[in-house]
Amino acid sequence: MQAEQVEIAQFLAQHPPFDDLPNKALNELAQQVEVTYFRAQTEILHFGKDIADLYVVRSGSVEMYRRNGELYNRLSVGGIFGQMGLLMNRKVRFPATALEDSLVYCINVELFNRYCDEFDAFADYFETDGNVRLHQAIVEQADSNDLTTAKVKSLIHRDVVTVNTTSTIQDIAKLMTEEAVSSVLVTDINKPINDDPEEDDGQVVGIITDRDLRSKVVAQGLAFDTQAQDIMSTNLVLLDANSYVFEAVLAMLRDNLHHLPVVQKRRPIGVISLSDILRYESQSSLLLVRGILAQQSIEDLAHYARQLPNVFVRMVNEDANSHMIGTAMAVIGRTFKQRLLGLAEDKFGPAPVPYCFIALGSMARDEQLIVTDQDNALILDDSYDDEKHNEYFQNISDFVCDGLAQCGYTYCDGEIMASFKKWRKTRSEWFDQFAGWMAQPKPQALLNSSIFFDLDGVWGKTKWADELKIFIAKQSKINRLFLANMASNARNRTPPLGFFKGFVMEHNGQHKHSMNLKRRGTAPLSDVIRVHALAVGSRKQNSFERLEDIIEANLLPEGKAQDLRDALEYIAMMRIRHQAWQIEKGEEPDNNLDPRQLSPFEQRNLKEAFAILEKAQSYLKFSYSANSGVK
Q: What pLDDT is recorded for position 152? A: 80
Cα first-last separation, the chain:
80
Omega before residue 589 within 30° of 0, cis: no
Phi, psi of 105 (to 5 degrees): -85, 135
Q: What pLDDT is recorded for position 202? A: 53
Please say whether the beta carbons of 100 and 40 come within 8 A: yes
The residue among 242, 179, 251 whose CA lies nearest residue 210 is 179
Mean pLDDT of 443-450: 94
For the range 584-593, what are the long-range contacts, defined as Cβ-Cβ under 8 Å and sequence gap of 24 or more? 584/313, 589/309, 589/370, 589/371, 590/371, 590/511, 591/371, 591/516, 591/517, 591/518, 591/519, 592/506, 592/511, 592/514, 592/515, 592/516, 592/517, 593/514, 593/515, 593/517
Q: What pLDDT is recorded for position 143? A: 34
Mean pLDDT of 459-473: 94
- Give, in order, the Cα–Cα distances in Å from 463 to each of 129, 235, 356: 29, 10, 8
Instruction: Return the H-helix or E-strand segment holding 175.
Output: helix 169-179
Residue 285 reports pLDDT greater than 70 = no
As its CATH architecture, domain 3-124 has Sandwich (2.60)
Cα gap 14→16, rounded to integer Å: 7
Residue 282 reports pLDDT greater than 60 = no
Sheet of 71-75, strand order? 43-45, 96-98, 62-65, 71-75
Which of the pair, 315 or 33, is modelled with greater confidence? Answer: 33
403-418 exposure pattern, b = at least 16 Cβ within 10 A, e = fewer: bbbebbbeebeeebbb
Least confident of 42-56, 114-128, 155-169, 520-534: 114-128
Mean pLDDT of 233-260: 79
Domain extents for the chain? 3-124, 156-245+255-265, 478-630
Amino acid (1-letter code) at residue 3: A
Residue 164 reports pLDDT greater than 60 = yes
Cα gap 166→177, rounded to integer Å: 19
Mean pLDDT of 319-346: 91
For 411-446, the pLDDT digits (tens) are: 999 999 999 999 999 999 999 999 999 999 999 999
Chain mean position to CA 597:
33
For 182-202, the pLDDT digits (tens) are: 889 998 766 655 545 444 445
Query: What value does the mean pLDDT of the chain take?
Result: 86
Q: What pLDDT is recorded for position 259? A: 84
Please say whether the beta carbons of 168 and 184 come within 8 A: no
- Give, in order, the Cα–Cα distances in Å from 571 to each of 249, 447, 610: 26, 23, 8
Residue 510 reports pLDDT greater than 60 = yes
Mean pLDDT of 350-371: 94
Cα gap 629→631, rounded to integer Å: 6
Instruction: Return the H-helix or E-strand segment holding 455.
Output: strand 455-460
> Is domain 478-630 in CATH 1.20.120, yes or no?
yes
CA angle 27, 32, 33 (to 5 degrees): 95
Least confident of 123-132, 282-291, 447-456, 534-543: 123-132
Chain mean position to CA 12:
36
Mean pLDDT of 231-241: 85
DSSP 224: T
Q: What pLDDT is recorded for position 311? A: 84
Least confident of 19-23, 468-472, 490-494, 598-602: 598-602
CB neighbours of residue 139 within 10 Å: 14
Cα gap 528→136, rounded to integer Å: 41
For 571-597, the pLDDT digits (tens) are: 999 999 999 999 988 899 999 999 888
Listed in sequence order, the residues at least 6 apart from 230 whose beta carbon sits closer than 8 Å to its beta carbon are 222
CATH number of 156-245+255-265: 3.10.580.10
Q: What pLDDT is recorded for position 294? A: 82
For 304-330, the pLDDT digits (tens) are: 898 889 888 878 877 788 888 998 899
Residue 470 reports pLDDT greater than 50 = yes
Residue 128 reports pLDDT greater than 50 = no
Q: How confident is the model at residue 142 (pLDDT cuts 50, 70, 90)?
A: very low
Residue 280 reports pLDDT greater than 50 = no
Q: What pLDDT is recorded for position 254? A: 67
Share of the chain above pLDDT 70, in %: 88
Please say whether the beta carbons of 609 and 571 come within 8 A: yes
Three-class secondary structure assignment of 487-540: HHHCCCCCCCECCCCCECCCCCCCCCCCEECHHHHHHHHHHHHHHHHHHCCCCC
Please say whether the beta carbons of 287 and 135 come within 8 A: yes
